[in-house]
């Protein structure tokens, strides 16, 4: 079985447990149409990751402090995020026509600045980015899917794929990359989307303010070597910047 299928199934388990709080192993095998052994292996991985707890043939989601929704994150560290977005805009050259935007508050700030450009086509799952883009005259569209409140983005567990297009440049966000060797995500579905957008992009840029280096995420989506540039702000510790420079070009926004 492909790794992506395993990731999608485990994300589906997390989604089901988030909705139902607790489900039996038997019920999960029926819903997902897989063997008891497969479900038990998935549950063991999720238990080891601290995402769920299992007892007496049932599994339940671990209660934890949720990641603040994008609407809240957008109100924090605004100067840093604005500086990163302004720097990111300068990397979009006149010959670049197709732009991919990941989800996240910093990426949404970049979307607002893209309205200053013309004759671009933008693809994004981010609702805040879509709202910003409506004020410009560029073409934009979303792959669609179910709406994730915390990320304020559209996701599709069964098929996270992008349309079969080539993107000239794409910009990526993250919920946190502490102690990670690459860009991270809070879900397997989002990680799969990031991987595909990276594969279909000629140039890939990561946008991370300093707070992202103090927060952890569920899964590593892409190693730093998959990015052409990482843009952060001046509050990111210098030792972290130097470590990142071993794998990727780093720009510190003023």
- Digit-coded pLDDT (tens) for 48-57: 766 788 888 8
Query: 153 is written with which tokens?
Result: 């983005």
When divided into structural domains, the chain yields a total of: 2
What is the pTM (predicted TM-score) of this model?
0.73
- Separation CA 72–CA 222 (nearest Å): 26
* pLDDT at residue 161 greater than cutoff 80: no
Q: Are 167 and 119 in the same domain?
A: yes
Asked whether the beta carbons of 198 and 190 are under 8 A apart, the reply is no
Q: Among 140, 125, 210, 119, which residue's Cα sits nearest to residue 172?
A: 125
3-state secondary structure 60-84: EECCCCCCCCHHHHCCCCHHHHHHH
Query: 58 is written with which tokens?
Result: 């049932």
What are the φ and ψ backbone dihedral angles of 61, each rounded to 5 degrees?
Answer: -70, 145
* pLDDT at residue 22 greater than cutoff 90: no
Structure confidence at residue 57 (pLDDT) = 87
Q: Are 42 and 94 in the same domain?
A: no
Range of the domain at 26: 3-61
Structure confidence at residue 154 (pLDDT) = 82
Query: 196 is written with which tokens?
Result: 């595909």
Higher pLDDT, 152 or 252: 252
Q: Are 38 and 164 in the same domain?
A: no
Q: Are 153 and 200 in the same domain?
A: yes
Q: Are 241 and 220 in the same domain?
A: yes
* pLDDT at residue 175 greater than cutoff 70: yes
pLDDT over 90 percentage in the chain:
57
Rg (CA), the chain: 19
- Provide the β-strand partners of residue 23: 59
Structure confidence at residue 157 (pLDDT) = 58
Domain boundary among 32, 61, 90: 61
Query: What CATH number has the domain bearing residue 125?
Result: 3.40.50.1360
Residue 141's SS3 state is strand
For 202-228, b/e burial (b = at least 16 CB within 10 A) is: ebbbbbbbbbbbeeebbbebbebebbe
Structure confidence at residue 169 (pLDDT) = 99
The model's confidence at residue 217, banded by pLDDT at 50, 70 and 90, is confident
Q: Are 55 and 81 in the same domain?
A: no
27-41, 45-59, 205-219: the lowest-pLDDT one: 45-59
Q: Are 159 and 224 in the same domain?
A: yes
Q: Are 167 and 92 in the same domain?
A: yes
Long-range Cβ contacts of 86-90 (<8 Å, 24+ apart):
86/113, 86/253, 87/231, 87/251, 87/253, 87/254, 88/113, 88/171, 88/205, 88/207, 88/231, 89/113, 89/114, 89/116, 89/117
């Amino acid at each position: 079985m492909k790794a992506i299928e395993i990731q999608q199934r485990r994300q589906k388990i997390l989604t089901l447990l988030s909705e139902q709080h607790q489900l039996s192993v038997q019920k999960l095998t029926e819903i997902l149409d897989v063997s008891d052994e497969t479900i038990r292996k998935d549950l063991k991985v999720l238990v080891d990751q601290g995402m769920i707890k299992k007892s007496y043939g049932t599994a339940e989601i671990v209660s934890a402090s949720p990641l603040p929704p994008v609407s809240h994150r957008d109100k924090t560290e605004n100067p840093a995020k604005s500086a990163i977005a302004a720097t990111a805009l300068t990397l979009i050259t006149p010959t670049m026509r197709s732009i991919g935007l990941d989800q996240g508050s910093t990426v949404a700030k970049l979307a607002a600045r893209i309205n200053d450009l013309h004759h671009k086509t933008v693809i994004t799952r981010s609702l805040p980015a879509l709202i910003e883009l409506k004020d410009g005259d560029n073409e934009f569209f979303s792959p669609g899917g179910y709406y994730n409140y915390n990320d304020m983005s559209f996701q599709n567990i069964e098929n996270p794929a992008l349309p079969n297009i080539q993107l000239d440049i794409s910009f990526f966000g993250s919920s946190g990359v502490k102690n990670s060797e690459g860009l991270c995500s809070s879900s397997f579905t989002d990680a799969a989307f990031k991987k595909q957008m990276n594969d279909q992009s000629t140039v890939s840029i990561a946008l991370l303010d300093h707070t992202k280096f103090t927060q952890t995420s569920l899964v590593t989506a892409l190693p730093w070597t998959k990015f052409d540039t990482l843009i952060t702000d001046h509050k990111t510790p210098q030792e972290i910047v130097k470590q990142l420079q071993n794998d990727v070009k780093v720009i510190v926004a003023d």
